């Protein structure tokens, strides 16, 4: 007998071991997220995928699907919470889209459009984090890091390396490079590594490739993030 959960009143089948996110995606239901990727261990750090499960707030990417769950996702309260989280991510870093070479390919930007985020709402932090351009092919702009840990997980789980880590808490949280100097040039990261390409923002960039695909012809210029995300989950790759 098949098992099912209910998401916003719709009955959704699931398989034992699936998370709510996985069950929703398999049914063609998009739950906004930034730190989730189908190829890596769920982390639940961005909180955009928070849903209500039988009245309890849970991260859809980490919480297992179980029989008789009533899940609410597309409610005014949760949409407002996601919008505020996204606004906070924008003001905590340097996310001025017109000046960023990731514009049009940036998941943070695409999620903001999806959530109809029309302004920053909160005062800008104007951080002064460093830019690491020490590597011959890869650049890190720490001002744009949202601490999703995707690069950490990709390096460990896909590349079998340990290039990145997150240190500190609160306003002191920061991405660190596992090298003596703390610079990327002293690691064994390679341009072919998944960790070099997984960043959802413009924090990790490949040098000498900016604007090879013109603005207006990029991933999210013509396709909404919900469709891109559902296709990624379905096919397991970008």
In the chain, domain spans: 3-79, 95-235
Picking from 48, 141, 128, 51, the residue whose alpha carbon sits closest to that of residue 88 is: 48
Picking from 1, 4, 22, the residue whose alpha carbon sits closest to that of residue 232 is: 22
Residues of the chain with pLDDT under 70: 1, 233-238
Domain 95-235 has CATH 3.40.50.880: no
- pLDDT at residue 238, as a whole number: 42
- pLDDT at residue 205, as a whole number: 97
CA distance 227 to 223: 7
- pLDDT at residue 1, as a whole number: 53
- pLDDT at residue 124, as a whole number: 85
Domain 3-79 has CATH 3.40.50.720: no
- pLDDT at residue 232, as a whole number: 76
CA distance 220 to 106: 8
Per the structure block, which two tokens stand in for 43? 């982390």
pTM summary value: 0.92
- pLDDT at residue 100, as a whole number: 93
3-state secondary structure 83-148: HHHHHHHHHHCCCCHHHCCCCCCCHHHHHHHHCCCCCCCCCCCCCCCCEECCCCCEEEEHHHCCCC
- pLDDT at residue 2, as a whole number: 72
Residue 68 CB neighbours (<10 A)? 9
Q: What is the pLDDT of residues 91-132, one digit of tens each?
A: 998 899 988 999 999 999 999 999 999 888 888 888 888 999
């Amino acid at each position: 007998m098949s098992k099912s959960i209910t998401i916003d009143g719709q009955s959704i089948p699931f398989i034992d071991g699936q998370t709510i996110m996985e069950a929703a995606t398999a049914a063609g239901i998009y739950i906004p997220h930034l730190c989730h990727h189908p190829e890596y261990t769920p982390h639940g750090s961005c909180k955009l995928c928070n849903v209500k499960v039988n009245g309890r707030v849970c991260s859809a990417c980490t919480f297992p699907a179980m029989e008789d769950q009533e899940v609410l996702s597309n409610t005014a309260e949760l949409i407002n919470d996601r919008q505020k989280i996204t606004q906070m991510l924008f003001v905590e870093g340097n996310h001025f889209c017109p000046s960023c070479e990731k514009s049009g390919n940036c998941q943070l930007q695409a999620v903001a459009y999806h959530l109809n985020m029309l302004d920053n709402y909160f005062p800008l932090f104007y951080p002064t984090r460093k830019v690491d351009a020490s590597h011959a092919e890869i650049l890190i702009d720490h001002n744009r890091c949202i601490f999703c840990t995707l690069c950490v997980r990709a390096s460990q789980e896909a590349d079998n390396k340990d290039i990145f880590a997150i240190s500190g808490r609160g306003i002191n949280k920061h991405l660190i490079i596992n090298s003596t100097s703390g610079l990327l040039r002293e690691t064994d990261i390679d341009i072919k590594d998944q960790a070099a390409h997984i960043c959802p923002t413009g924090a990790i960039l490949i040098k000498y490739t900016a604007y090879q695909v013109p603005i207006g012809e990029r991933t999210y210029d013509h396709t909404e993030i919900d469709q891109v995300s559902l296709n990624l989950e379905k096919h397991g790759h970008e």
